[in-house]
Structures are given as C-alpha cells and as structure tokens.
Amino acid sequence: MALWRRWSMRGLVAAVLATGALLSIDPGRAADEPIVFRNDTVTIESGNARHHFSVEVAETDAQRARGLMFRDHLAPDRGMLFDFKRDRYIAMWMRNTLIPLDMLFIDRSGRVTFIHERARPGSLKKVEAPARNRAVLELAGGTVARLGIGVGDRVLHAIFVGNRR
C-alpha cells in the first residue's frame, strides 16, 4: 500500500509538472508577451501563375504556439509559415485566432498535400492532414479560392528540399 501511494504520488507530481511545462509555452496566457518572428517571402506556383507572399516564419515552439493568435487583420499578400523542421503529422487549431485562415499543409519537397479553407476563428477543432508534412502556410481566409491554389501546387522557400525561390 505504501509503495502504491509513493508511485501514485510520483505519477501525480509528474503529471502536474508536465501540465505546467505545457502551460508555460501557452501564448494564450500572455497576449502582450512579445514573440518576434523572422520575415521572409514564399512563392506559390499554381498552374501557370506565381503568387508571392510576405510571411512571418514560426520556427520555434513558442512561435508555433503563438502563430497568428490575437491578430485582427491579415493582408491578402501576407501569411505565416510554420516550419516543423521535419516530416511529421501536424495538427493545427484556431484558439485565440480572430480571423479566418486558409491552411496549406506542405511536404518536405514543397508540394501542397492538403488544404483546409476558411478555418473558423476561435475553433478548438483540430485541423490535420492525413499525411506527414514539413510545414503549414497560413493565409487569409478565402485566398485559396480567390487564387485557385490547390493540392499538388508547389511552395517555393528555402526550407523545402531541392527548392529554390
């Protein structure tokens, strides 16, 4: 009985510490806390057209956790590129996000593998692609439909293998 209590207390302490670690990178708790993003550009090749966007790059855990939260506007030629550094299953959500977004899931070669259009602001529903991807590009809601961007289109940026702008 004493051994069980010791192990269960250790488990409880570990769970509390893990929860605290997760909360410490939760940007929703401190909207005014500054997180600085690197600025860059991406180009989407769609059919015969090339669409250029100025993006902020989210490449750290804190940057990816904050994303476009608390923004009330995103210009039509702007976006955010989430770099997960390796292929993995990616789940996104819209917590504390005030504007609708189009999410383009991109594999390591720069190909768009999955698109979720007009993600609903504030939604806690996970948006997941069925395959592993390297990155997600978030654009203002409606951009995909307006420009005719589709699965299979190519995103040009230095993070993608064999990909030049």
Say if 10 falls within a structural domain.
yes
Strands 78-88 and 133-140: antiparallel
Please write the tens of the pLDDT for every residue from 51-62. 999 999 999 999
Say whether both 82 and 54 belong to one domain.
yes
Report whether 80 contacts 56 (CB < 8 A). Answer: yes
Is 86 found in the same domain as 18?
A: no
The model's pLDDT over 129-142, given as tens digits with 9 standing for 90+, comes to 999 999 999 999 99
Q: Domain range spanning residue 1? A: 1-30
Q: Does some domain include residue 2?
A: yes
pTM metric for this prediction: 0.80
* Residue 99 and residue 20 share a domain: no
Q: What is the CA radius of gyration of the chain?
A: 18
- Total number of domains constituting the chain: 2
| Same domain assignment for residues 105 and 142 | yes
pLDDT averaged per 10 residues, the chain (length 165): 44 38 43 84 97 98 96 97 97 96 97 98 96 98 98 97 65
**b/e sequence 83-119, b meaning 16+ C-beta within 10 Å:** bbeeeeebebebebbeebbbbbbbbbebbbbbbbbeb
Q: Quick one: pLDDT at residue 161?
A: 80
Residues 131 and 104 in one domain: yes
- Looking at the chain, the whole-number percentage of residues with pLDDT higher than 90 is 76
Phi, psi of 21 (to 5 degrees): -65, -40
